[in-house]
Structure 1
Amino acid sequence: MADSQKDQEAVQIRARTDADVPECAALLRKVYALDGYPVEGVADAEGWMYPAGLMAAFVAGETGGLLGHAAVCEPNGDAAVEMLVAQTGAAESEIAVLARLFVGPKARGRGVGRMLAEAALAYAAGKRLRAVFDVMEKDRTAIGMYERMGCVLLGRTLHHVTDGRTIPALCYAAPGAVDPTA
């Protein structure tokens, strides 16, 4: 068995609990120091784990601690939602948003991000929801992962940060979200 496959088998994806949030926040601070994600900063890292409309959250972990996080939220003025509605005629009530996906520095290159994304997208699909999300253009590794997963580029937008900055972003739909009959 290849080392990367062993690595993935050691990783467990599960529903996040409130008890996980402090460790997730600590991990997020490390991610921010390395990547500048999230662009809003981490002044309230624990609060950031509870976005508006949170439907579900997942963590990746192994013996020794948590490795990453992903969430699924209801639409909340998201550009990706607007694009999917415009391109497909889907109702907002048929859409979920993949959010708050991050992987700690020590777990990178092991497929953890993909495993978390797949868990979140499977959750949305299980609820018969089409999943969308945005990703900052600067986050090339994440963009590559989503494209390898077969996610569909919906368009470009600007992410507006509370401090007045705008960050170029790409909006994607999960595989099958644009044409759910495909």
Structure 2
Amino acid sequence: MLIGNKVVLRAWEPADLPALQALRNDFPLQRQLMAQPKGSSLEQVRAWLNARAQAADAVFFIIADKTSNQPLGYVQLLDINLLHGTGRLGICIGPQAQGQGCGGETLNLLADYVREVFGLRKILLEVLADNQGAIRLYLRHGYREVGRWLQHFHTGNGYADVVIMEKLLTA
């Protein structure tokens, strides 16, 4: 468990399933995450969580409120490559917890953890170019834009650009 001032990053628990199902079924939120939501039952969410928790090249944490332990979202680092010292970030914070500092604290806790435990030196991410709130958050926490895929992600109404960002993890 990683403990911050506002949030804790912890393993998932069965009691988290309804909140995570709500996040997975929030289609506008999932679109911002570049997911292709189809709707998820509790059993599908459980299977997804089990797969994430067992992945050899990933870490997955529930973002929980420090006081209530209620899930606010989740964060994962996928495609961890120990040779190159890299991993690919994915973060989802429910609308009710956005804009309260939870995302920034989560980014800092995760970066410290993967640098210290896995010796990673860089975190990569992809974000829709129109997700300006997320881009501002990443920039405030040391990420920089390193590229852009034009008309890359199908939105249902056309195609959106995707911004590629990275953060070098220096001690």
Alignment of 1:30-179 (within 5 A): 30=26, 32-33=27-28, 36-43=31-38, 45=40, 46=45, 50=51, 54-62=57-65, 63=68, 65-74=70-79, 93-99=84-90, 101-126=91-116, 127-129=118-120, 130-158=122-150, 159-160=152-153, 166-174=159-167, 176-177=168-169
User: In structure 2, what residue type is equivalent to 1:131?
Assistant: I
SS in 1 for 2:32: coil
CA distance in 2, matches of 1:169, 1:48: 25
The offset of 1:154, in angstroms, is 1.0
Structure having the higher strand fraction is 2
Give unpaired runs (5+ residues) of structure 1: 1-7, 77-90
CA 1:35–1:17: 2 relative to 1, 3 Å: closer
CA distance in 1, matches of 2:138, 2:102: 13
- 1:87 is matched with none
- The percentage of aligned residue pairs carrying the same residue is 20
Give unpaired runs (5+ residues) of structure 2: none
CA distance in 1, matches of 2:126, 2:102: 19
CA distance in 2, matches of 1:44, 1:18: 21
Q: Are the equivalent residues in 2 in contact too, given 1:15–1:56 (CA < 8 A)?
A: no
CA distance in 1, matches of 2:125, 2:56: 14
- 2:9 is matched with 14
How many aligned residue pairs are there? 153
CA 1:16–1:143: 2 relative to 1, 3 Å: same
Provide TM-score, normalisation by structure 2.
0.71
CA distance in 2, matches of 1:172, 1:61: 25
Provide TM-score, normalisation by structure 1.
0.67
